[in-house]
Chains A and B, each alone.
Chain A
């Protein structure tokens, strides 16, 4: 009978920080879940604001002017969101690195064992959404690609956000990337929403199917809500009031 070899204890010290919650697997997952909740709330709020485009140029520009008028509060929200994004990604990466190290050799025979594709694609969907958010900010907030957006104002002298959005989405490439990104966001949320309840310890055997279906439904609503905007622009359901020029790249 061969004696089982004594396995070497993991020599790697867990995170050097002294707060056990921030180095433990479950504590870090709680942070990912809690920051996830904040980001989901932002996504829902952002969607509701964006849907003002269907109420016409005046509603959307008024909504944008209202956001700008909040001043310091807007910066508080921005900093909180930025912190949430940073913590959400940072702790996910530290967990992921440990997960990779925990399986040094892969199986020869693959079997998905009932794992959903949404769960498997969490990292890819999350990172694609991150890349999209940076592009989205560069396009609409920093107006890096089209500096002329800054000069567009409506008749009341407000930033003409409506014209900016409709012009941008008139380009099929911009719209296609947008729909792809919100599709991946939906996939990320369908696993994320159900998953956060489990991580926060709120799931029971009875509730899990409810959270899983609920997460999927909310993810679909968010996806369809966001995707409806470029779709409406491309179908000319939402168009510029006058015959203003649209995407110079496509026309």
Chain B
């Protein structure tokens, strides 16, 4: 088992109001098979043994599907390569490479501690429109609603979003439009999402603005880092859906 050494620069910040600073750690004898989060675990264990406070970071499933882990590794939200930060492996780095780990820098995601930010703003966006109304009771047959394959595929591509916040973190404007677009596309394309379709984009965009997120400048940095490969065409769909909803509301059109 080969081991590697890294020059780490990790962000330490006590709370949202604390100024925060980088701490430098020379991480030695890191097994090359380690994932990035396991490397941080090793570093934190050593810090704890030395009587120092470990660096807080968020993680849950560690298999790239839950969207809990969030950090910016060398300027890339969720780190190099596809997948969330938990899918980054130390063998992707050069031995002795300096690695900077920062929290997401998004005004609407206040820092809780160190690398952990509070992404509840995304939950509030979902609450304002990222849902469907459905009957309770027995589940209908899967084939009750006919959905053309390309539509189902496009909806599934958008539904892949894990809500991790990397899009807003990557965007120079801190815009979450890839996330909002993914939800609007996913629900708007399917028959189950039609009841709220007109109001969905309007409500989600309004919440997005109230939370203090920025606006899309079509930079496509979000698409470049998205761990779920959500395409930026969902933003085009959001733009379309929003104007449709807003114009229908303004002129009093039902359909």
Name A residues whose Cβ lies closer than 8 Å to a Cβ of B: 2, 4-10, 12, 14, 20-21, 24-30, 95, 98-99, 101-115, 119-120, 122, 191, 194-195, 197-205, 208
Contact = CB atoms under 8 A, between A and B. Distances in A.
A107 B22 CA distance: 12
A95 B215 contact: yes
Nearest to A115: B219
Interface string B68-83: 0000101110000000
B105 to A, nearest CB: 5
User: What 4 A-B pairs are tightest by C-beta distance, nearest first?
Assistant: A201-B240, A111-B75, A102-B214, A10-B212
Interface in B198-255: 202, 205-206, 208-221, 224-225, 231-233, 235-243, 246, 249-250
Given A99-B172, A198-B235, A201-B238, 10 more contacts: A7-B211, A9-B210, A14-B209, A24-B242, A99-B215, A103-B105, A108-B100, A114-B221, A199-B239, A200-B239
Interface string B93-134: 000000010100111111011000010110000000000000
Interface of B: 9, 15-16, 22, 72, 74-76, 100, 102, 105-110, 112-113, 118, 120-121, 170, 172-175, 202, 205-206, 208-221, 224-225, 231-233, 235-243, 246, 249-250
B209 to A, nearest CB: 6
8 contacts: A2-B112, A21-B243, A24-B205, A25-B175, A103-B105, A103-B173, A110-B75, A195-B218
Contact of A7 (B72, B120, B173, B174): B120
A198 B239 contact: yes
A113 B224 contact: yes
Contacts of B110: 5, 7-8
A114 B80 CA distance: 13
Contacts of B206: 20, 24
Contacts of B121: 7
A110 B210 CA distance: 28
Contacts of B211: 7, 9-10
Given A103-B106, A108-B100, A199-B239, A7 B118 contact: yes
Nearest to B118: A4
A111 B76 contact: yes
Given A7-B121, A14-B209, A98 B218 contact: no
B105 A105 contact: yes
Given A24-B205, A102-B107, A113-B224, A199 B218 contact: yes
A131 B15 CA distance: 45
A199 B233 CA distance: 10
A203 B236 contact: yes
User: Which of B72, B214, B237: most chain A Cβ within 10 A?
Assistant: B214
Contacts of A115: 172, 219-221
B134 to A, nearest CB: 27
Contacts of B210: 9-10, 14
Nearest to B220: A114
B197 to A, nearest CB: 15
A105 B109 CA distance: 11
Contacts of A109: 72, 74-75, 100, 102
A108 B187 CA distance: 37
Contacts of B76: 111, 113
A111 B175 CA distance: 17
A102 B112 contact: no
Contact of B246 (A20, A103, A204): A20
B102 A107 contact: yes
Contacts of B236: 197-198, 201-204
A29 B22 CA distance: 38
Contacts of A9: 210-212
Nearest to B109: A7
Contact of A201 (B22, B107, B220, B239): B239
A195 B218 CA distance: 6
A197 B172 CA distance: 21
